[in-house]
Amino acid sequence: MNATITPDRKSILANIRIQRFTPGEHKSAFYDNFKVNVETGMTVLEVLRLIKNTQDSSLTFRAFCRSKICGSCSVRVNGKPLLACSTQLMPILDDFKQESVIIQPMRNMPVLRDLVVDIDPVIEKLAKMHPYIMENRGRIPETLEQESLMSRQELTKFDYITDCILCGSCYSACSAASADPNYAGPLTLGKAYRFSADVRDSFKGERMQAAVDQGLWSCAQCRKCINVCPKDTRPAISIQRLRKMSIDDGIHDTPGSRRAKAYTDDVAKYGQVNKPMLPVIVNGPKGWAAIEAADNYLIKHGIEPTHQVCTLDGQSSTQKIYAKVKELESRGENKT
């Protein structure tokens, strides 16, 4: 009853369009087109290597483990950052219904050559975040004769981030990093949360301040980082958690924490956010300039400005929701 195995493998002649640039040799980036027979099973990395081996040995990209664990080979394919090694090309050609793809370097980092970007700025930001355990001697014994104990529940709080391979895909996709070169970026803040949430650590305060200084509140929560992460480490979620941790730890003196506090307090009080006064609450007296500008704009359009928040009916329901959330929080059910 044995049947000879004949695998269904197909092949498409595809046009691979690759962004090229060598600083000092080229004035600006340009594109090269390579014709490649893409076969079933071929990853983006295999195609890049095939081009380098058979068509143009100067094509430059990074790759090492070729099994989704080292994080070297991030590039953008049709605009999306991904790991070249673990991305099958045939399904992309099928999805886009055309025999062509564009491969470009990651964004938000300077190009060193072709598809290779300079990741040092990101690594420097990471280093400033104190990304390591400083021993909490209440949990970690002085002697190597003993283990420190940690429950599974304690591990679960941060274990998902330890999958991070520092590939930089999230940094490439990050809208806050595009807007502000000083912003630390998703992966570095994820790491800051990972160590601050570890019961074996004693350095949370310093690290939290480093996170605040490097833009903890600059993240726009657009969640692109979650979408592109090849390891599902959900940086935007960690950033939310780190923000909450910082407020719980009493770091209230930041625009972000003031805004967050205003949102929760206002909704509890009025059933909605007191938007007219938000600039002053968040930015202090400087906020009046924004309010005056808004007032003038409204007056110009014949609308009478108000600085009062209108209260709505049904506030008691809001308060019930608040009470329920507090109850769930105390039972630890928001930790997913």
Partner 1 sequence: MLTYDILIIGSGGAGLYAALESRSEEELRVGVLTKIYPTRSHTGAAQGGVNAALANLDSTDTWQDHWFDTVKGSDYLADQDAAEIMTREAPMVVREMEHWGCPFSRTDEGKIAQRPFGGASKPRACYSADKVGHVMLHTLYEQGIRHGVNFLNEWQVLSLMHDGTRCQGVTAINTQTGRVHTINAKAVILATGGHGRIYWTRTSNAFGNTGDGTAMAYRAGLPIKDMEFIQFHPTGLRRTGILMSEGARGEGAYLLNGLGERFMSRYAPDKMELGPRDLVSRSCETEVREGRGGPEGEVFLDMTHLGKERILEKLPQIRELCIEFEGVDPIEEPVPIKPTAHYSMGGIHTDINGQTEIEGIYAAGEAGCVSVHGANRLGGNSLLDILVFGKRAGKHALEYARGASFTPVSTEQEERDTQMINTMMDGKGSGITIADIRHAMGNLMAEKVGVYRNASDLESAISKLADLQEQFKQMRIQDKTKAFNTELVSALELKNMLDLAEVVTAGALERKESRGAHTREDHLERDDKNWLAHTMATQGADGRPKLEFSPVTITEFEPKARTY
Q: Considering the complex, what minimum distance in angstroms separates the CB of residue 211 from partner 1? A: 16
Q: Considering the complex, what minimum distance in angstroms separates the CB of residue 148 from partner 1? A: 6
The answer to whether 46 and 61 are in contact (CB under 8 A) is no
Amino acid at 54: T
* The length of the chain, given as a count of residues: 336
- Residue 98 is classified by DSSP as S
From residue 210, alpha-carbon distances to 42, 188, 254 in Å are 43, 11, 13
* CA atoms in the 13 A half-sphere facing the CB of 93: 23
- Measured from the CB atom, the residue of 6 and 330 that comes closer to partner 1 is 6
- Measured from the CB atom, the residue of 131 and 215 that comes closer to partner 1 is 131
Q: Considering the complex, what minimum distance in angstroms separates the CB of residue 249 from partner 1? A: 20
Q: Considering the complex, what minimum distance in angstroms separates the CB of residue 104 from partner 1? A: 17
Q: Considering the complex, what minimum distance in angstroms separates the CB of residue 98 from partner 1? A: 19
The answer to whether 129 and 188 are in contact (CB under 8 A) is yes
3-state secondary structure (DSSP) of residue 191:
helix
Amino acid at 16: I
- Measured from the CB atom, the residue of 50 and 309 that comes closer to partner 1 is 50
Q: Considering the complex, what minimum distance in angstroms separates the CB of residue 260 from partner 1? A: 29
φ/ψ of 117, rounded to 5, equals -110, 160
- Measured from the CB atom, the residue of 214 and 274 that comes closer to partner 1 is 214
Q: Considering the complex, what minimum distance in angstroms separates the CB of residue 331 from partner 1? A: 21
Q: Considering the complex, what minimum distance in angstroms separates the CB of residue 253 from partner 1? A: 28
- Residue 251 is classified by DSSP as -
The answer to whether 195 and 203 are in contact (CB under 8 A) is yes
- Measured from the CB atom, the residue of 96 and 322 that comes closer to partner 1 is 96
Kind of pairing between the strands at 80-83 and 100-104: unpaired
Query: For the chain, how far is it from start to end, CA to CA, in angstroms?
Result: 49
* Structure tokens, 221: 């929560």
Cα Rg of the chain (Å, integer): 25
CA distance 21 to 31: 9
- Measured from the CB atom, the residue of 204 and 258 that comes closer to partner 1 is 204
Q: Which residues pair with 116 in a beta bridge?
A: 113
Q: Considering the complex, what minimum distance in angstroms separates the CB of residue 181 from partner 1? A: 21
- Measured from the CB atom, the residue of 116 and 267 that comes closer to partner 1 is 116
CA distance 235 to 221: 10
CA distance 327 to 320: 11
- Measured from the CB atom, the residue of 165 and 281 that comes closer to partner 1 is 165
239: nearest Cα among 170, 165, 328, 152: 170
- Measured from the CB atom, the residue of 4 and 33 that comes closer to partner 1 is 4
